[in-house]
A and B are shown apart, each in its own frame.
Chain A
Amino acid sequence: MTSTRLTHLQSLEAESIEILREVAASFERPVMMYSIGKDSSVLLHLARKAFFPSKIPFPLLHVDTTFKFKEMIAFRDRTAEEYGFDLITHTNQDGVRDGINPFDHGSSRYTDIMKTAALRQALNAGRYDAAIGGARRDEEKSRAKERVFSHRNASHAWDPKNQRPELWRTFNTRLNPGESMRIFPISNWTELDVWTYIYDQNIPIVPLYFAKPRPVVERSGTLIMVDDERLPLEPGEAPRLETVRFRTLGCYPLTGAIRSDAADLPSIIMEMQASRTSEREGRLIDSDSVGSMEKKKQEGYF
């Protein structure tokens, strides 16, 4: 290497690696949230780089809401096997017992129980003092406000009006008993950065990101993929095959697909550049109300 200036992606990568190492060195029981989406794939790749030739020195945690796309679960297990990291999965068994689902209980109650409460359970059970997540500041307005090392009180709540100052790259990683930290190593990446990095580094991602004919139903303008028989069809409604893909992945009944022919990374990047909507548009849980993300985060959502 003769050039002394790092490219944009190189400096983003280095910044994230530094953050990941700081977590490993500063906390007793760190864990990395693994949501199986593109951001998690990037995070996993960065963690492998950060600690090479050592293995990733903390486990990966997947909160399984039981309504994830089947392809996501298959990808998760394949990836865990290929890279040999320590994978922990957690499901809120109370929710399973009560048969909580997004259809009968509404998206917000379902998310509260199967995602937010489940996450709290898992973090408490593992006594994790640091949880690494793949959120980015460009995703949403309240995320744009969050620190890289984001402090949580003993009930996992974020206090947005009272965040610790964060100077340079000198992170205050100290906690009192019961408190924890959420850490966002790819805070400063944009969606475009993520895609170009995936392309540049050839990082495997769930095939749902690529367009393919899939069975969908259209509900108030949103395309929902019929991933299994649990999705109740309305009278007269029948799944039809459409060529679609996903910009973000979550629970299949709450994730809108987009009509697209983009079947490879170049076409996805191309399509994204031309797009006039944000990636979160397809997420049904964020559009409930302005400020809903901030509220969820105060309750312990990632």
Chain B
Amino acid sequence: MTLAMATPDTNLDLWLSQQTDKSLLRFLTCGSVDDGKSTLIGRLLYDSQLILDDQLASLKKESHNRTVGDEGIDFSLLVDGLAAEREQGITIDVAYRFFSTDKRKFIVADTPGHEQYTRNMATGASNADLALLLVDARKGLLTQTRRHSFILSLVGVKHVVLVVNKIDLVGYDQAIFDQIEADYRAFARDLGFQTLAAVPVSALRGDNILANSDRMPWFKGTPLVPYLETIEVAQDKAAQPFRFPVQWVNRPNLDFRGFSGTVASGEVKVGDDVLVAASRKPAKISRVVTMDGDLHSAVAGQAVTLVLDREIDVSRGDVLAHAGTVPEFSNQFQARLVWMNDEPAYQGRSYLLKVGAQIVPATITDIKFRTNVNTLEHVAANKLDLNEVGTVTIATDRAIAFDPYADNPLTGGFILIDRLSNATLAAGTISFGLRRAQNLTYQSFDVNRQVRAEQKGQEAQIVWFTGLSGSGKSTIANLLEKRLTAEGRHCYILDGDNVRHGLNKDLGFTEAARVENIRRVAEVAKLMADAGLIVLVSFISPFEKERHLAREIAGDIRFTEVYVDTPLSVAEQRDPKGLYAKARRGEIKNFTGIDSPFEVPSAPDVTLHGGQEEPAAMADKLHDWLKI
């Protein structure tokens, strides 16, 4: 049902709001050369009364000596805007045209069918939600029909309308239409289209464009324009994980440092915890800035400037994400490529790769196969020629943040650029990241601590907390672990109390038992570090000798001694477990600080002043010092 449309003269604001409330459909026309794509777009523009009087007059003049419909117009001239196109009667490059109906606005990309210009078809497809795939009723499916279909599937166009055109030239024959539709459905089965409709039309004569044509009473489907007006293609990009590729660092003066960009997906709110995908540095969003005033939040598609609550290193190319849903970060991945240059793609060649705002040198490490666009079979290949589609692995000089293209086209689509001519060579879509262990030099190393740690993207190490009972060791260790984990690190806390309930259940509090206690914990910490973990050990460890022993056991593993220097009076006052009270009453023997000494570390790596600073501040300080 159409709502009554306001007209601008009756109520401008209502009319405007109806205009802006209309949804937008971006689609393209594609298919083989001469199938009538441009004619169809010309027809759509003409029928939606978008061709104005002065344009119509010049069009009629130009249509002389060309194939024309009942209106005396060669509709393709409306879109084929280049001199060379009009001379040759073919489309060379994409034309973008705009039209709207009462229900919807449309941006249409009319793309060329000629194989030589396949890259321009890919250009048009990359921003489209839906494709009109044209087929000439007399010819059926051709190689270009299939190639274009494959490219549609590669760039993730999910909605396709098979437009069987020139049906006037086959006597409006239903059998021909049915056959082409059946052929196409069989071919497209594995291409991942969410919707696939088929409609027989004559672009030249206007059949089944706006309304069902009398000349094809057998067609019971929806005519083209009503179908385009109603098909639902919206994806809820706001519900996806938050991605914010930083485009430009906004620094008008020393008091303001913001990061300008467009929210690629998801939503971000003031107060959110975010991370820089590459460095895993965390921060909170403190402001969402626009010239129209600060916002509480921003959703996919909005161009904003984000301000963080602390000074961390962020520059163009970085991607901000929520802790917990960070993009992949790797220097190797598998991808699909459409090759767009006369000079073929070879294994081992170095190119520039641009994904989002990141540009890095990159090499095609392996061409796994080429896809035969007619049969969709995988064919062995050692190069990719112009217009060929292949599956490759790519290594970048440094790791980049990305998502698989299927999850997020804006962070998973890339282009390859020639390092000398700067030409755009290929469009690529990332399939998945390859981790180091899966890479090509797989056999050349032994799996050791360093390899395991690198797999986790960290340096394996031990952070040893020493200090009185109640000094705040565990609190700080916990805060540090939380933060590191949010940054994607893998940690484990060995806590005195917990270990004594299990592994060291058999040990008492004699001096020998204390040494054995520390020895075991140090050995366990070493094993865990060897497995690639960051181990946080929270033990009173009151004796200098034992701490030395722990450091010795660690060997070449990075070992940081952190002294939580909280005065006895403060610790005793806190007395979280009531132990000091018991010790004072003599119910516990050998209690550190009461009737057993605490040897102040002579050369700790870090000293934290418990009792003077907040645990969170101390954890941050330690985090900064460690530079993990």
Contact = CB atoms under 8 A, between A and B. Distances in A.
Contacts of A174: 352, 417, 422
Given A138-B97, A169-B410, 6 more contacts: A4-B267, A10-B302, A165-B123, A166-B126, A269-B8, A291-B82
B254 interface: no
Contacts of B20: 7-9, 196
Given A1-B295, A5-B234, A14 B303 contact: yes
B424 A164 contact: yes
A48 B291 contact: yes
Contacts of B55: 278
B82 A160 contact: yes
A79 interface: no
A25 B318 CA distance: 13
A269 to B, nearest CB: 5
B302 A275 contact: no
A154 interface: no
Contact of B250 (A22, A53, A145, A269): A53
Contacts, number: 194
Contacts of A80: none
Contacts of A269: 8, 12, 16
B424 A172 contact: yes
B251 A141 contact: no
A165 B427 contact: yes
Interface string B247-264: 110111000101011100
A162 to B, nearest CB: 9
Contacts of A8: 19-20, 22, 24, 105
Given A176-B422, A199-B16, A167 B9 contact: no
Nearest to A163: B93
B316 A25 contact: yes
A230 interface: no
A165 to B, nearest CB: 4
Contact of B247 (A21, A54, A291): A21
B274 to A, nearest CB: 19
Interface residues of B, number: 87
Nearest to B247: A21
B302 A170 contact: no
A225 B234 CA distance: 49
Contact of A266 (B8, B234, B303, B423): B8
Nearest to A265: B12
Contact of B252 (A53, A164, A278): A53
Given A138-B98, A144-B97, A145-B81, A165 B424 contact: yes
B250 A170 contact: no
A141 B81 contact: yes
A142 B290 contact: no
A35 interface: no
A74 interface: no
B122 A165 contact: yes
A196 B80 CA distance: 29
User: Which of A52, A145, A290 has the most chain B CB atoms closer than 10 A to its own CB?
Assistant: A145
Contacts of B424: 164-167, 172
Interface in B410-431: 410, 413-415, 417, 421-424, 427
A161 B97 contact: no
Contact of A54 (B58, B252, B409): B252
A282 to B, nearest CB: 10
Contact of A142 (B81, B238, B423): B81
User: Which of B7, B81, B120, B352 has the most chain A CB atoms closer than 10 A to its own CB?
Assistant: B81
In the A-B complex, the 8 residue pairs with the smallest Cβ-Cβ separation, listed nearest first, are: A141-B81, A4-B238, A52-B291, A17-B303, A54-B252, A174-B422, A270-B8, A14-B303
A6 B302 contact: yes
A160 to B, nearest CB: 5
B321 to A, nearest CB: 18
B511 interface: no
Interface stretch (B215-223, B353-361, B603-611): B353-361
Given A9-B20, A266-B8, A170 B414 contact: yes
Contact of B427 (A50, A142, A167): A167
B423 A278 contact: no
Nearest to B12: A266
Interface in A125-162: 137-138, 140-145, 160-161
Given A21-B248, A167-B413, A161 B84 contact: yes
Q: How large is the interface on A (under 10, 10 to 19, 20 to 34, 35 or more residues)?
A: 35 or more
Interface of B: 7-9, 12, 16, 19-24, 52-55, 58, 62, 78-84, 86, 92-98, 105, 107, 119-120, 122-123, 126-127, 155, 234, 236, 238-239, 247-248, 250-252, 256, 258, 260-262, 267, 289-292, 295-297, 299-303, 305, 316, 340, 352, 354-357, 409-410, 413-415, 417, 421-424, 427
A98 interface: no
A93 interface: no
A137 B96 contact: yes
Contact of B354 (A14, A51, A55, A172): A172
Contacts of A14: 262, 301-303
A187 B94 CA distance: 13
B305 to A, nearest CB: 7
Contacts of A145: 81-82, 93-96
Contacts of B356: 170
Interface in A199-213: 199-200
Interface in A37-74: 48-55
A15 to B, nearest CB: 8
B92 A161 contact: yes
Nearest to B125: A167
A97 interface: no
Given A144-B96, A176-B421, A278-B54, A54 B427 contact: no
Contacts of A281: 54
A210 B96 CA distance: 30
Given A14-B301, A174-B417, A291-B83, A165 B119 contact: yes
A294 B122 contact: no
A100 to B, nearest CB: 27
Contacts of A190: 98
Contacts of A166: 123, 126, 424
Given A4-B238, A172-B354, A291-B83, A51 B250 contact: yes
Contact of B415 (A140, A167, A199, A276): A167
A11 B413 contact: no
B16 A196 contact: yes
Given A21-B261, A144-B96, A165 B120 contact: yes
B256 A168 contact: no
A231 interface: no
Contacts of A233: none
Contacts of B94: 145
Given A54-B252, A176-B421, A266-B8, A25 B357 contact: yes
B415 A170 contact: yes
Contact of A170 (B16, B295, B355): B355
